[in-house]
Structure 1
Amino acid sequence: MVEVKLHDIGEGMTEGEVIHYFVKVGDSVKVDQPLLEVQTDKMVAELPSPASGKVKEIVVDHGNTVSVGTTLLVLETEGAKAVETDKKPAEAASKNTEALQSQPQQTAVTEQKGEKKFIIAAPYTRKIAREFRVDINEITGTGTNGRITVEDIYKFVKQRDGIQSPKEIKEASAEVTEAKTEPKQEIQKQEVRNINEIKAEVIPFRGRRKQIAKKMTQSLYTIPHVTHFEEADLTELLAYRNDLKEMNINVSAVAFFIKAIAVALKQFPVFNAKLDEENEVIRLEKEYNIGIATDTEDGLIVPVIHHADQLTVRQIHDKLKELTKKAQENKLTPTDMKGGTFTISNVGPLGSIGATPIINHPETGLIAFHKTKKMPVVMENDEIAIRSIMTMSMAFDHRVADGATAVAFTNRFKQLIENPKLWPIELT
């Protein structure tokens, strides 16, 4: 027998919610075949089978949240081929993690008589299939190594239901989603009733929302937060962006912000640091990995742009688009989430004018960029001009840095984004 346990599939993960099983008791499975999906605070991940055999018992029902190390299901293995994960849990967890991350390169197993074929499909693709009530085993994948894509699902639905246009597909998806009665990955509202009347409406507090709450509470009660407020004049930067657009170069303002942050962090490394209380040292990180706070349907998530100091503004822009898309589609990998040293939050497009952001523990600082609006400003020659002014809030760990250093840091950042002419000689 092999016990399949929840192992750490992400940085600092302590628990996860079982959201879907691909197998049931009695099913035959092969090594590395996906068994179930788990929702952590950062992503949805598939857990592969560590051995070939049959599913003897499902221990944890879907919808339940369990801690790392909990047995999820039990396999009856095929003799000596079994991988005894309970003997070496750390080694087995490492192998499972490698299998999870290398899944796109796996080869599909041909369907045999009386046996399900090994399906290669991303969690997001499987989710789409469930929403349309599609048996994914009936689909032939057109992707690499027979991988099933979202387009394959849509094509199957078109043929099955006679749907012709993308609009009809979306409408059908909405109807199916509303009609489904089985538990879903998305947050579900449930009515709480007594015998005579409806008393209240509740939202389940679990999955990513629960993990976000834990991390925010840890940060707020561990770090003495101080928030420094500042304004920056983006008039010249926005004009520079317009000049670039005329050259068919479209780069977001946030890409400039990230590059300027990386440059400023090199001059003020205390904000690219982590406090190690146990060893009583402040570790100044040598990599400049900028986390991007991203709003998704399931809650806040922070993918990371690694080595931002070594990337051009255009490369940062492309990476930002890629990570945002993956976050919205729940396709982020563990690598996309690891190694952040400083975090930014661009809430301006939502209409924010100020905040007191909570630091992404164990980092030292976080900057939130708020709404940019045109307003009259008294210039150095005492003339009044209309300028584009952005407000920002910088939260920092007062155990590691002081207010004067925070002001100097934001002043350097302001200098860079307010004066694009400095970029050719400053941003290398």
Structure 2
Amino acid sequence: WGEIERIGLNKIRRITGETLQQSWQTVPHVTQYDEADITELESFRKEQNSLNSGDSGKLTLLPFIMKAVVAALKAFPDANASLDSTGENLILKKYFHLGIAVDTPQGLVVPVIRNVEQKSLRELSAELADVSERTRSRKITPAELKGASFTISSLGGIGGTWFSPIVNTPEVGILGVSRAAMKPVFQENGEFVPRLILPFSLSYDHRVIDGAAGVRFTQFVSGMLSDIRQLLL
């Protein structure tokens, strides 16, 4: 019908495509959409960056999200798990290694940040910057791409409202984060006030997590992000 051009997929895109196709075909996916009021969190983040303006790295939003996710995984351990090869037993993981999807010129790569619960917000921010840079420059090692217990895919830096990420098997859940935006929020006094609202979504394996548990998980994450005091305890 017209001129075409055939372009071979690079190795990363082929491997990623095969993995995602297998996950989509074998895992009964459900996606729960939610949002969090991060007005106070963002104010705190900017204040901390202003107070530490001499530091080499800036505190970004993603470490806060990682901390909230780990808190949720502790509260809902079935989400930090995988099914065994028989599909009859659930393997609960006692560690919190988060896969962080990184957009590279070669395709999507997911390096793993280990022991997130043991690291401070600034330590996580510095490690994320280092890992992301090495991933994009193709200096990340194969060992750093393995062992995640849960994954976060953040597209907020690009845009979008919500999306449905595909579970990265053998994990049973993945959190997709979109771009925060100012929205009018109705208050009890009858007035609308501007608040910074972060949309996010949880895709999960319905064999392990049912709908009610999925909602409780996203509500827990929302509560943690909306109340900076809980996140910092």
What is the TM-score with the length of structure 1 in the denominator?
0.52
Task: State the SS of the aligned residue for 2:179.
Answer: strand
2:103 corresponds to 1:299: no
- Report how far residue 410 of structure 1 moved: 1.2
Task: State the SS of the aligned residue for 2:178.
Answer: strand
In 1, distance between residues paired with 2:49 and 2:28? 43
Identity in percent: 36
Which one of the candidate residues 406, 415, 422 is aligned to 2:223?
415
Opposite residue 203 of structure 1, the aligned amino acid is I
In 2, distance between residues paired with 1:423 and 1:351? 25
Residues 345-388 of structure 1 deviation map (CA, whole Å, 9 limit, x = unaligned): 11011111111111111100001110111111102333210011
Which one of the candidate residues 265, 289, 300 is aligned to 2:73?
265
Aligned to 2:31: 227
2:131 corresponds to 1:323: yes
Larger Rg: 1
Q: Which runs of 5+ in 1 are unaligned?
A: 1-197
In 2, distance between residues paired with 1:252 and 1:285? 27
- Report how far residue 421 of structure 1 moved: 2.0
Aligned to 1:207: 11
Which one of the candidate residues 379, 383, 396 is aligned to 2:191?
383
Task: State the SS of the aligned residue for 1:278.
Answer: coil
- Report how far residue 279 of structure 1 moved: 6.1
Aligned to 2:60: 252
**Bigger RCO (CA 8 Å, 6+ sep):** 2
Aligned to 2:166: 358
Partners of 2:10 and 2:106 within 8 A in 1: no
Aligned to 2:121: 313
In 2, distance between residues paired with 1:413 and 1:382? 27
Which one of the candidate residues 269, 282, 285 is aligned to 2:90?
282
In 2, distance between residues paired with 1:337 and 1:385? 43
Give runs of aligned pairs for residues 24-423 of structure 1, distance below 5 A: 199-248=3-52, 250-278=58-86, 280-423=88-231
In 2, distance between residues paired with 1:255 and 1:241? 11
Q: Which runs of 5+ in 2 are unaligned?
A: none
In the alignment of these two chains, the number of paired residues is 228
Task: State the SS of the aligned residue for 2:212.
Answer: helix
Residues 84-111 of structure 1 deviation map (CA, whole Å, 9 limit, x = unaligned): xxxxxxxxxxxxxxxxxxxxxxxxxxxx
Opposite residue 369 of structure 1, the aligned amino acid is V
In 1, distance between residues paired with 2:90 and 2:116? 22
**Range moving further from structure 2, 271-280 or 352-361:** 271-280
Opposite residue 101 of structure 2, the aligned amino acid is A
In 2, distance between residues paired with 1:238 and 1:279? 42
Moved over 3 A (4+): none
